[in-house]
Amino acid sequence: MKHGRCRLRARVTVGAIVGALLASAWMAGSTTADDETATPIKHLVVIFQENVSFDHYFATYPHAANPPGEPRFVAARSTPDVNGLGASLQDPNNPNSAQPFRLDRSQFQTCDQNHGYTNEQRAFDSGLMDRFVEAVGRGAGTCQDYGKGPGLVMGYFDGNTVTALWNYAQVFAMSDNAYNTGFGPSTPGALNLISGQTHGFATTSPAVTPNGTVVGDPQPAGDICDTRDATGSIDPYNRNIGDLLNAKGVTWGWFQGGFRNCAQTHSSMGGQVSKDYVPHHQPFQYYASTANPSHLPPLSAQNVGAQDQANHQYDLADFFAALEADNPPAVSFLKAPAFEDGHAGYSNPLDEQRFIVSAINRIQRSPFWHDTAIVIAYDDSDGWYDHQMGPIVNQSQDPVNDALDGTTCGKKPENVAGGYQDRCGYGPRLPLLVVSPWAKENFVDHQVTDQASILRFIEDNWQTGRIGNFSLDETAGVLDNLFDFSHPRGRKLFLDPSTGQPPDAKK
């Protein structure tokens, strides 16, 4: 059923009466393309963060160490367990050459790990999951490894550091079976989010294989902020979700920190200075149809989400300006400035928490909360250890780049979608949370999903059709089990950006 939208501005309470009122509100008023949805969700916000495996943030969920002086986390009694690091995989039983260990909150700033397409497959070692230290572990260098060397890759945080995410999981819904659509770093993950497709790009960068598939981090050709080798989509059949939303007349936008001024820098809490804007984190810039290579601003806050010179590509500030102007797009992708995106090396969980909590607090205070879903997702694992291998739903037999089974990633040519090599996946397991009045409460979903499942949700909710050209949206699982569309709860959870706790929580 298609529902119309009525923008409710009053704060509501939980209960069956509220559910009935909201249900009648959807049916009221005139509709636009934004309103014509298959679910009550009229506003989807995807907060797309950087470089975290599921075990790196949720290995021991819902049990935190709670040492003195750190934000406490005590789970509700009804909290379900997750597929985390049980006793059979903890010290001294883990098959890797270093054992998993807890990173203290004081150790929030860590080294970046190796997270290449080939090396991540080597770490998986045909599914034994026992070569992380040798294949993707990072040595000390000039970064913080806390004396662990390449064994740092086995480290994980708990609810005393990633406190906000654990609290969101308590009140809303999360998955413990969501995966990177493929192996490798940021750009393939970002491309899979918006198109389910990493094939069909110019081989002008070593990050693009001779098969025309992106396996590394080229920068988007023509972007005025590019600083090195670049590529763009050249397959005429390639499309992304922006193209589909434009065809339906649905408002949307990608909002990235530093987009308006790509020379702008910030320092993380660990003292690392980085430019806010990272070109290869911006997937829509790789497609001529959705690129804004000159980084032109929207004509006004009222124009955000519609077609103008910005071509749906914006600075992060434009999202909040549109929200304040009561004009958020139906579909919004938020990309934090680099120092707050969670990427080890130049960012960290505490800076990341400040960004995520501040954004969600502002969205919850808006009049659009009642029909909003926020998805918190990640572009890749950074190579951090995760014990769970997902199904290989798409194979690749490139002896130069594939290594899961020695020189291949699966051995059946008929299981290579479109014959497009170097798209093997699923890759590493990643966190995925849904924060929404429509999310199930304190719920863990065990159904298999991947980054393209977010793409598929948008396609299904706004009825755009599929991407085509062997996009992996065709094989993606659905996010539906994270929601309960028959019982709106209307609940909000405001957290402290520094501690990740509710304002009245015990420290």
- Res 30: pLDDT: 56
- Comparing C-alpha atoms, which of 493, 378, 394, 396 is closest to residue 439? 493
Q: Contact, 430 vs 454, CB < 8 A?
A: no
- Res 11: pLDDT: 33
Q: Contact, 105 vs 163, CB < 8 A?
A: no
Q: Contact, 188 vs 200, CB < 8 A?
A: no
Lookup: tokens for 44: 């989807």
- Res 506: pLDDT: 63
Task: Write out the chain's pLDDT in tens, 507 residues.
Answer: 334 333 333 333 333 333 433 433 433 445 799 999 999 999 999 999 999 999 999 999 999 999 999 999 999 999 999 999 999 999 999 999 999 999 999 999 999 999 999 999 999 999 999 999 999 998 667 788 999 999 999 999 999 999 999 999 999 999 999 999 999 999 999 999 999 999 999 999 999 999 999 999 999 999 999 999 999 999 999 999 999 999 999 999 999 999 999 999 999 999 999 999 999 999 999 999 999 999 999 999 999 999 999 999 999 999 999 999 999 999 999 999 999 999 999 999 999 999 999 999 999 999 999 999 999 999 999 999 999 999 999 999 999 999 999 999 999 999 999 999 999 999 999 999 999 999 999 999 999 999 999 999 999 999 999 999 999 999 999 999 999 999 888 899 999 999 999 988 765
Torsions phi, psi for 332 (to 5 deg): -130, 135
Domain range list for the chain: 16-482
Strands 230-231 and 219-220: parallel
Find how far residue 297's CA is from the centre of its chain.
25
Q: pLDDT, tens digit, for every residue of 291-309?
A: 999 999 999 999 999 999 9
- Comparing C-alpha atoms, which of 176, 212, 177, 173 is closest to residue 191? 212
**Angle value at C-alpha 202, between 196 and 204, nearest 5 degrees:** 130
Write down how long the chain is.
507
Lookup: tokens for 361: 């607090």
Return d(Cα 276, Cα 339) in angstroms, integer: 7
- Res 12: pLDDT: 36
DSSP per residue over 398-429, as a string?
-TTT--TTSS-B-S-GGGSGGG--S--B--SB
Question: Is domain 16-482 classified as CATH 3.40.50.2020?
Answer: no
Return d(Cα 379, Cα 398) in angstroms, integer: 23
Q: pLDDT, tens digit, for every residue of 423-471?
A: 999 999 999 999 999 999 999 999 999 999 999 999 999 999 999 999 9
Torsion of CA 264, 267, 272, 278, to 10 degrees: -30
Return d(Cα 89, Cα 93) in angstroms, integer: 5
**Angle value at C-alpha 201, between 200 and 205, nearest 5 degrees:** 150
User: Residue 214 class from Cβ within 10 Å (0-12 exposed, 13-18 middle, 19+ buried)?
Assistant: buried
Lookup: tokens for 219: 């920068």
Q: What is the 3-state secondary structure (H, E, C) of 56-108?
A: HHHCCCCCCCCCCCCCCCCCCCCCCCCCCCCHHHCCCCCCCCCCCEECCHHHC
Strands 432-435 and 372-378: antiparallel
Torsions phi, psi for 156 (to 5 deg): -145, 150
DSSP 127: G
Q: Contact, 195 vs 233, CB < 8 A?
A: no
Neighbours of 335 (CB within 10 A): 28
Neighbours of 433 (CB within 10 A): 23
Lookup: tokens for 335: 């990309």
3-state SS, residue 44: strand
Return d(Cα 287, Cα 304) in angstroms, integer: 20
